[in-house]
Structure 1
Amino acid sequence: MYPLSISVGEKQQLIESGVVIQFNNQPVEFNLELTNFPLKIIMVFKNDSKTEPHMEPATIDNTTLSLILYNYNNPLGTGSTRPLKIADYQGKHIYLNYRIYSLSDTSDKTVQYSFYLSEVLI
């Protein structure tokens, strides 16, 4: 097997990308293990009285970021319109792009995600 390396643009390297389906409406937790730099991203899905999707980021500690995603209930998808900077690492920047799909307000969410390491600040 040959290792695969994917670049997006000249200065962005794809770290990890994939799709996960939430289990029983539990938070989706990403544990990104870079050299001497553990990073945890927790996606929590909620509904509120507002109709538009919105996000509330919260730093839990030095290595954990919580993203509370409200009203992400569109079967056609809702997500980041630009890469979301989540950390700095060895003079570079870690970004997350995501799309969330949901069959209904209460169904498990399907999460498409891509983590990038970028030499430039966006």
Structure 2
Amino acid sequence: MSDWLDVVRWNSDGLVPVIAQEAGTGTVLMVAWMNREALALTVAEGYACYWSRSRQKLWRKGEASGHRQRVLDIRLDCDEDVVLLTVEQAGGIACHTGRHHCFYRRLVDGQWQAVEPVLKSPASIYPT
């Protein structure tokens, strides 16, 4: 690994939160996690690779769905504990629910309401 990875303030689990923001629109598509290997692979390959906390393994965004994220820019915040990726989102779908982004619920009158449409059925994205 390289010295630039040592600058990142990894949490006690060896992870850092990552925001994926769409190039052009500025829309925040999703928030995920990376470990050192995921960040190094993202830089080396030019496509987003995350760490799946639920599966405890590397996860190349779009490996099952084809909705890959080509990384255009990588930034580290002032506290060195959050990474921002500027990406081109393949297929226009970043969320596993089939929506453009993961922030599809809005708080309305004390209730979370889905306000963004499903663009593609998750069953057709992830056939069993």
Same fold (TM > 0.5) = no
More helix by share: 2
More strand by share: 1
* Higher RCO (CA-CA < 8 Å; seq separation 6+): 1
